[in-house]
Amino acid sequence: MAIQISNVVVLNDTELEWQFIRSSGAGGQHVNKVSTAAQLIFDINASSLPAFYKERLLAKADHRITQSGKIIIKCQQSRSQEMNREQALAQFIELVQSAAKVAKKRVATKATYGSQQRRLEKKKQRGATKALRQQKPDS
């Protein structure tokens, strides 16, 4: 089965490693016996992703990407193993797709003269209000 990342990029599902583990947290007797949580492990460096994707993913500051270059996504929201697997896969695809998005270059703007004047006027008013609260020593 192929995983469609974009129109050009397609991953083979053999590149994904799945582990099914017990979910953490409360849940009664059933949760202690059944491994419903899905953990997806993907090695960025050993993958067939284009170099652009690899560089962007490795440079990304995301808690799901380890120092060694592996993406680890754990999903345990559902009580169904299959639904957790689907959610983890959806999160993985979203993470890889986000690496391809190039952020717009921010254009620095300058505050308008009017907004600067309004700000200064408010500061003066606030200072005057505080000055009225101060007790003047009797001299």
CA dist 91 to 28, 40, 122, Å? Answer: 28, 10, 47
Query: What's 22's DSSP letter?
Result: P
> Nearest CA to 88 among 39, 22, 31?
39
Asked if the model's pLDDT at residue 1 lies above 90, the reply is no
> Nearest CA to 96 among 41, 46, 49?
49
Percent of the chain predicted with pLDDT > 90: 38
> Which pLDDT band holds residue 47 (cuts at 50, 70, 90)?
confident
* Residues in the chain, total: 139
CA within 13 Å, CB half, 132 = 5
CA dist 10 to 15, 22, 87, 117, Å? Answer: 11, 31, 19, 55
Asked if the model's pLDDT at residue 137 lies above 80, the reply is no
pLDDT at 5: 82
pLDDT at 3: 82
CA distance 123 to 110: 20
DSSP, residue by residue, 55-88 = HHHHHS--TTB-TTSEEEEEE-SSS-HHHHHHHH
**Vertex 138, ends 133 and 139: CA angle to 5°?**
130
- Ordered by where they begin, the domains of the chain are 2-100 (3.30.160.20)
**Mean pLDDT along residues 68-88:** 90
pLDDT at 120: 98
